[in-house]
Structure 1
């Protein structure tokens, strides 16, 4: 397989739930500016930078014709309703909601302000849109297809760890995770592997979850998609459990393997949706996009630290190998 370059959106952990305003926002002429709210489920500064730069390429610049109202939940999803209340009070033209927890909170908060998903795991099943081609309401944006990738990911697990008998599936209180866990359990069973779910509702619960997986004799961990939690790769390494992630950002942070869509494309696409809406398009009429580029990444430095030898067949499948 041809190797492709992998662009990483690095995530970092900071204190939770405070607004961060652009440095030049105070200088903006808000009477002439379009107002965009960005609410992230995870740590949002990298997302903010990608959105900011993408909008600038489309002709929107803070201090000139754009105000961005930014709020981040940093993995504490219970804070999202309050963050949405804050930004809606500022009368945004569009809300960008990063990941399913923020999208669900935004949907509960408003049925009139346009919402751009960036991205959603299951926009139809979650009730965000009526169909990909005709969303039909005030929500449109990007889907990530994580559920569709589970069977292939577990095939990779089987190739990399041919003797594995049981995997732990790490979930949070992300509303899509129960369905994704069910998909993972069934896909694992189809190839003769037992799978069990373990919840880390908030970032501070990760160490306990890994200890529980270790105690339950899990040999490999499969981490369902969430906004990146930077503490996760070192906790996985310290536990001694090989871990494969749906979100590709994790391998650059020390995760062993990842398979999923190219992450940064979600946010450049979100900016394009914002542009179209600000120019008069209605979310109900703008089709939902799905990713076309998927990356399998292996971190050999982490494999060495775990004392693992990754089979050559698996390395040849990788789009990127970190050495």
Structure 2
């Protein structure tokens, strides 16, 4: 065979081989990377994330057009920061942060990548946003804030609670904001607040043993540490005949007497709308923050009966969901 012809055949074969072996790498390098981080492994964040992915696919942004990267780190500041650093390293185009801790880590660790936050209780109070209409900070998102005053007022319809215990986590800013709001409402509603900080799973047992004997109502904040063990909290509270109120999604289903919940699925869809605007070129800093539209006031009749609490007719009239 002619030597020059042989070289041409080898070269042609090499080109064909490279195309056959590496097409996925070429496609990925040109794809849009959407990186999601969940503040903790809780149903509220998982459900919101699933809804976000489905809504993005419905808009034409599925795995054939974008690369989806998801991190669920341990619920601590170092792990949240490390997750965002990974997103920086892979060149993510958008960061979607579920929960205030992850959103704050994204703001601190990534200054150039647009951020869409989801299920953040108090974007202004936490410093994540400067205003609801023009959030700034290269971030926009979905607030999960629902009025704690409504939750307290509904609970007080059952009876006048005097000692309200609070489980919160000092390193989770949303949880701290809820504690501060409860303290402001305490004077208006004539009850005292007994607080217990749960900074690790091991501290929960100590907190429950200390709080439950001295309170007649327990408020569970959106703490990741507490949320991951909510079934235990409800079980122990029922043993002490102490009702629970909360704004944590699924709290009512799991046994809280009263819960006021923003819907995770709706928040996921709202986040997809915002992400699509960012992809289209809108600056997140000037995209208004979205408030929850679907909010459920849930009354758990099973819990009320177990605690011998009469459910007033006015409570049933305003409830959007009753668990029988």
Does the CA contact (< 8 Å) of 1:36 and 1:67 recur in 2? yes
Could you say which residue in structure 1 is the equivalent of 2:293?
292
Instruction: Please give the secondary structure, in 2, of the residue aligned with 1:89.
Output: helix
Could you say which residue in structure 2 is the equivalent of 1:3?
none
Which structure is higher in helix share? 2
Residues 195 and 270 of structure 1, relative CA distance in 2, 3 Å threshold: same
Matches within 5 A, 1:16-165: 29-43=27-41, 44-62=45-63, 64-73=64-73, 75-146=75-146, 149-162=147-160, 164-165=161-162
| 1:198 corresponds to 2:196 | yes
Distance 2:27 2:193 in 1: 55
Does the CA contact (< 8 Å) of 1:256 and 1:299 recur in 2? yes
Deviation (angstroms), 1:304: 3.2
Deviation (angstroms), 1:78: 4.3
Matches within 5 A, 1:163-202: 164-172=161-169, 173-202=171-200
Distance 1:286 1:188 in 2: 35
Instruction: Please give the secondary structure, in 2, of the residue aligned with 1:107.
Output: helix
Deviates more, 1:291-300 or 1:224-233: 224-233
Deviation (angstroms), 1:72: 1.1
Could you say which residue in structure 1 is the equivalent of 2:217?
220
Q: Deviations over 1:252-293 (max 9, x none)?
A: 233332013233221111111111111111112211111233
Residues 312 and 205 of structure 1, relative CA distance in 2, 3 Å threshold: farther
Distance 2:28 2:195 in 1: 48
Q: Larger C-alpha radius of gyration, 1 or 2?
A: 2
Q: Deviations over 1:171-200 (max 9, x none)?
A: 123113333312211202211111122122
- The CA RMSD measured in Å over matched residues stands at 2.2
Distance 1:27 1:262 in 2: 38
Residues 270 and 298 of structure 1, relative CA distance in 2, 3 Å threshold: same
Distance 2:205 2:177 in 1: 24
Deviation (angstroms), 1:28: 9.8
Deviation (angstroms), 1:88: 1.9
Distance 1:294 1:112 in 2: 33
Distance 1:199 1:31 in 2: 45
Instruction: Please give the secondary structure, in 2, of the residue aligned with 1:124.
Output: coil
Distance 1:141 1:235 in 2: 30
Q: Deviations over 1:194-248 (max 9, x none)?
A: 1122122244433322222114x11111112345824213422333221011123
TM-score normalized with structure 1 length:
0.83
State the number of aligned residues.
Answer: 293
Distance 1:230 1:254 in 2: 15
TM-score normalized with structure 2 length:
0.83
Matches within 5 A, 1:277-316: 277-316=278-317
Instruction: Please give the secondary structure, in 2, of the residue aligned with 1:280.
Output: coil
Q: Deviations over 1:58-107 (max 9, x none)?
A: 11111x11211111135445421111112221111100011111111111
Deviates more, 1:256-265 or 1:271-280: 256-265
Could you say which residue in structure 2 is the equivalent of 1:11?
none
Distance 1:57 1:205 in 2: 43
Q: Which runs of 4+ in 1 moved over 4 A?
A: none
Distance 1:51 1:179 in 2: 26
Does the CA contact (< 8 Å) of 2:32 and 2:66 recur in 1? yes
The unaligned stretches of length 5 or more in structure 1 are: 1-25
